[in-house]
Amino acid sequence: MTIRRTVCAAAALLLATATVGAHAEVVVGVSLSTTGPSASLGITQKNSLAFYPDTIGGEKLRLVVVDDASDPSTGTRLARKLVTEDHVDIIVGSSAVAPSIAIAEVATESHTPQLSLAPVELKPGKGDWTYRLAQPISLMAEAIAARMAASGVKNVGFIGFSDAYGESWLKDFTAAATPRGIKIVDVERYARADTSVTGQVAKLTSIKPDAILVAGAGTGAALPHTALRDRGYAGPIYQTHGAATKDLIRIGGKTVDGAILPAGPVIVAEQLPDSHPSKKTALEYVTRYEKANGPDTRTQFGAHTWDALQVLQRIVPVALKKVKPGTPEFRQALKTALESERDIVVSHGVLNYTATVHFGFDARGRVLLTIDHGKWKLLD
């Protein structure tokens, strides 16, 4: 009965979205996590919507913005409303992995393109209409493993969140490190809400690995780092791109100086070489965002919303040449344009999607940073 109800619901959703007539505007549904555990991501993304124009490809652009509260059930309900009542042509969101996966289900059922702001992993057949604007963890893990190998690291201690983020990093870092002769000698986990990692750090420091990788995000990334330094660990500590926020520096203070981590190029837009394809649009975003929100307020998460606009400005005019918005044919035309347009330059790199590749980034979508006296510094 459950399978039958699901199939019936999907059929009803597809029928509802197929019976809407064309309209003289492009409607973009935006589902962000502006409340709940992922609010720190969603708020910066909502702030970035202020830079969207009133028109796109010669047509009026209308945004329908909702708060999914970082919750997958809410994300599903609101996504269904976006496609059946607001008749959106494309969905941008969500901020976090769980609601993004929920939205992907609706995107697939309704044949509505989705630009996910989170690096979601989806089962075959579940992500045909979902395209990511966040770099895959595997791309970032490769950068860390390569840096460790070049620095002579042979064994690594790992401490990460006891959730999908931490486990994904463990899987992808292991895949990148093993061929380079790097062995993970200890794996420790901690919860996002933990206030102490004394036991985990004691074990890691007793093993004395050449380096330690912390797979945390936001404020939670600072806890193991400061604890390791307080216990006397002097080796290099690597962080992940989830830690590329000022929260790490604000909470960690001097103890996080010297940390090495990957991030999107927008974090150090001013330090990028002039030859980097993302420098121009990254600088434009950073200048506009920090003028509106204050110095050093940029985040790579907010920039994903800016990047969604860059993608829309490439694919919407292409689709409009074929059909008017507000129809299944227009949504299909957007999907086709996503998979055929080449070298879409965004603040995080260059995107090239295909029918089978819905993570569009290559190595231009990452840089390695260190923290030098409380400031981000681009590494060679």
Q: Which two tokens stand for residue 61?
A: 């652009």
Answer whether 77's CB lies under 8 Å from 66's CB: no
- The reported pTM is 0.89
Residue with tokens 């400061």: 226
Q: How far is CA 90 from CA 30, 108, 135, 187, 312, in A?
A: 9, 12, 20, 41, 9
The predicted structure's pLDDT at residue 71: 94
Instruction: Give the per-residue pLDDT at 1.
Output: 44
Distance between alpha carbon 51 and the CA centroid of its chain, in Å? 19
- pLDDT for the residue numbered 10: 53
Provide the token pair at 355: 């029918």
Instruction: Spell out, as residue ranges, where the chain has pLDDT lower than 70.
Output: 1-22
pLDDT tens digits, one per residue of 95-154 = 988 899 999 999 999 999 999 999 988 988 899 999 999 999 999 999 999 999 999 999
State the sign of the Cα–Cα–Cα–Cα dihedral 310, 312, 318, 320.
negative
Asked if 109 contacts 14 with a C-beta cutoff of 8 angstroms, the reply is yes
Q: What's the confidence (pLDDT) of residue 271?
A: 98
Instruction: State the pLDDT at residue 349.
Output: 97
Give the tokens for residue 147.
């840096």
Structure confidence at residue 18 (pLDDT): 55
With both helix axes pointing from N to C terminus, report the angle between 300-320 and 328-340 in degrees, rounded to the nearest 10: 110
Q: Which run of H or of E encompasses 338?
A: helix 328-340
DSSP code, position 292: H
Residue 364 vs residues 121, 132, 278, 304: alpha-carbon distances, Å: 21, 15, 8, 15
Residue 176's DSSP bridge partners are: none
